[in-house]
Structure 1
């Protein structure tokens, strides 16, 4: 059974299953996060949805580059969690199945290309509380 974080599913609401891959990217005593400005400001673990036909690891590399501008190496799966949420960019209610990895940030190629995203290095001591969802917080705290 995969642990759920956040609000339970609402009775009678239809949810679309969305698989995603997300990364904890440590470097020294800091971790690389992404800050998403829209639809509301939020710090997140870099990552996102796995496209049809795409492998989770390919999605992880793609999403990290889009949201932070950094390349990564040696991703290792830590676990997964579910959360039920509205996704305004897609106008859907989603059951997000979030797989969490830890990886090594290698090189900054450029600024984030994902609109509204900024790459932020944050001390671990601050990052857990700064993250916008309890699943991300749980995995970063466990790491």
Structure 2
């Protein structure tokens, strides 16, 4: 059973299952995050949905680059959770299956290529408090606790 975070699903609503890959990206005691300006401003773990025919890891590399401008290496699976949410950019209600990876940011190649995204760095202790959804907060806090100095 996959742990659920966030709102309880409405039994009268149809949800489309949408898999995604997201990354905890530590470097020198800080984490690389992304700020998404719309539809509501929110700080998130970089990542997103999987395109048709794409693997989780390929999606992770693509999404992190699009949202932060950084290339990553050595992704390893850390956990998974699900949440039920409305996705206004697609006009659909989704059951999001969020696979969390830990990876190393290795090279910044420029600004994010995805409109409305901005890369930002946060101290590891502060990152979990900044993140917009409870699943991201949970896994980031768990990572920080496992890596406390």
Classify the TM-score, shorter chain. over 0.9
Q: Quote how far apart the aligned CAs of 1:91 are.
A: 0.2
> Alignment partner of 1:58: what SS?
helix
Aligned length: 143
> Following superposition, which runs of at least 4 residues in structure 1 exceed 4 angstroms of deviation?
none
* CA deviation profile, 1:12-39 (whole Å, cap 9, x unmatched): 1000000000000000110000000000
Aligned partners of 1:123 and 1:79: how far apart in 2? Answer: 21
CA deviations on 1:62-97 (whole Å, 9 max, x unpaired) are 000000000000000001000000000000000000
Q: Distance between the aligned counterparts of 2:115 and 2:94, measured in 1? A: 21
Distance in 1 (CA, whole Å) between partners of 2:11 and 2:101 is 31
Match of 1:21 in 2: 21
1:133 aligns with 2:133: yes
Counterparts of 1:1-12 in structure 2 under 5 Å?
1-12=1-12
TM-score, with normalisation over the residues of structure 2?
Answer: 0.95
Q: Give the TM-score normalised by structure 1.
A: 0.99
Instruction: Give the match for residue 36 of structure 1.
Output: 36
Partner of residue 147, structure 2: none
SS of equivalent to 2:12? coil
Q: Unmatched 5+ residue regions in structure 1?
A: none
Offset of residue 126 of structure 1:
1.2
Q: 1:125, CA displacement in angstroms? A: 1.6
Structure 2 segments unaligned to the other structure (5+ residues): 144-149
The residue aligned with 1:68 is: 68
User: How large is the Cα RMSD of the aligned pairs?
Assistant: 0.4
Aligned-residue offset at 1:115? 0.6
CA distance in 1: counterparts of 2:81 and 2:23, whole angstroms: 13
Q: What displacement does 1:114 show?
A: 0.6
Q: Which residue of 1 aligns with 2:80?
A: 80
